Amino acid sequence: VYILGIESSCDDTSASVICDAKVLSNVVANQEVHSKYGGVVPELASRAHQQNIVPVVQQALEQANVTKEQLAGIAFTKGPGLMGSLLVGTSFAKSLALGLQIPLLDVNHMQAHILAHFIKDDESKIPTFPFICLTISGGHTQIVKVINHFEMEILGETIDDAVGEAFDKSAKILGLPYPGGPFIDKYAKLGNPKAYKFTKPKVGDLDFSFSGLKTGILYFIQKQQRINPNFVEENLNDICASIQFTIIEILMNKLKNAVKKTGIKQIAIAGGVSANSEIRNRLQLAEKHFGWKTYIPKFEYTTDNAAMIAITGYLKFLNNDFANADVTAKARLKVTE
Ligand code: ATP
Ligand code: FE
């Protein structure tokens, strides 16, 4: 069956057509407007979604070579996210499903980041249950026990900032554009990860905290800049490598704790930060070093995309788990809801 997925929770408008669990198209329109503000401006995001949604859906259908009439269901992101952004996708999906008289599938964005692992590609491995998923994104940092497709348990999460925010705020301190995560990754490749040492937070076994680290980085940079005003410029690669090393160490230590606590050695990563080359390397090495079986999403399914919404919708479709016509967007929604 063909399912159309629509994602509009934050600042990317995306549409995807899948055939069963195979992706036929996955169109993502990034919104450039936010870059100069150093973060997402909700009003502008909503307006850009309104402009993008029709052409993006049209492109997704064209690339997949599928007509609207062939669709078996429409999946959309119900939440969590920015209300004004969610509303655009929700109302579009609702009216399209109503017009075509086909099922509407409401998707939890955080479940979708995880369930992207069930997309069937030539080279991809599909996880078996139960597995542990480290969800690392712009708004979340969680260790989730995935019992089956729609039964999940949060074992630990951040008590303050998300790891994506830690990357983005560190990048901002260094004067890099928004979102800064990919820039830190890029410069880190050329630097020495042991050049500078940052203190790791002390929180519960499976919980995270990143706001102290961010402050530590800010004070360190301010102090060095007072001594040498060109400090950042001259040492950008080493600074980025050291920040990234510290963050990835924190994540890996928590995963080790989770394995110790649950005995589960099947480990997946999901969310935008799982695009990071260092966490991908380290997870791959963990297969050899710790005997874990690891699942690393394809790069295009890490940051926000509609293919993950479509696959989640497809799994719901198989369960006859359809949304009512009166379904509403939810700015706050837990992965367990
Ligand atoms: P949520 O899914 O929690 O609602 P979101 O949808 O805004 O948040 P994602 O799109 O999943 O977040 O991820 C975006 C985040 O991923 C940003 O913080 C970005 O900096 C980060 N990111 C993307 N690529 C990389 C990378 N290579 N290294 C580090 N961080 C990265
Ligand atoms: Fe996301």
pLDDT at 31 over 90: no
304 among the known binding-site residues? yes
Side-chain half-sphere CA neighbours of 135 within 13 A: 29
pTM of the model: 0.97
For 9, the token pair is 């929770």
What would the 3-class secondary structure string for 105-127 be? EEEEHHHHHHHHHHCCCCCCCCC
For the CA of 277, the nearest atom of ligand 1? 27
Could you tell me if 35 and 326 are in contact, meaning their C-beta atoms sit under 8 angstroms apart?
A: no
Note the pLDDT of residue 161: 98
Residue where the block lists tokens 């064209």: 62
235 lines ligand 1 (CB under 6 A): no
Pocket test for ligand 1, best of 86, 278, 303 (most atoms within 8 A of CB): 303
DSSP track, 135-161: EE-SS-EEEEEEEETTEEEEEEEBSS-
pLDDT at 226 over 90: yes
Note the pLDDT of residue 276: 98
Could you tell me if 143 and 156 are in contact, meaning their C-beta atoms sit under 8 angstroms apart?
A: yes
228 among the known binding-site residues? no
Long-range contacts of 35-40 (CB under 8 A, 24+ apart): 35/177, 35/178, 37/178, 38/172, 38/178, 39/168, 39/178, 40/10, 40/11, 40/82
Note the pLDDT of residue 121: 87
Note the pLDDT of residue 220: 98
How far does the centroid of ligand 1 lie from the alpha carbon of residue 326, in Å?
31
Note the pLDDT of residue 33: 82
14 lines ligand 1 (CB under 6 A): no
Note the pLDDT of residue 287: 97
Which residue's CA is the nearest one to ligand 1's atom 28? Answer: 276
pLDDT at 32 over 90: no
Residues 13, 18: Cα–Cα separation, whole Å: 17
Cα dist. 74→94, 243, 282, 315 in Å?
Answer: 8, 41, 37, 12
Q: Hey, is 174 helix, strand or coil?
A: coil
Ramachandran angles phi, psi of 126, nearest 5°: -100, 130
168 among the known binding-site residues? yes
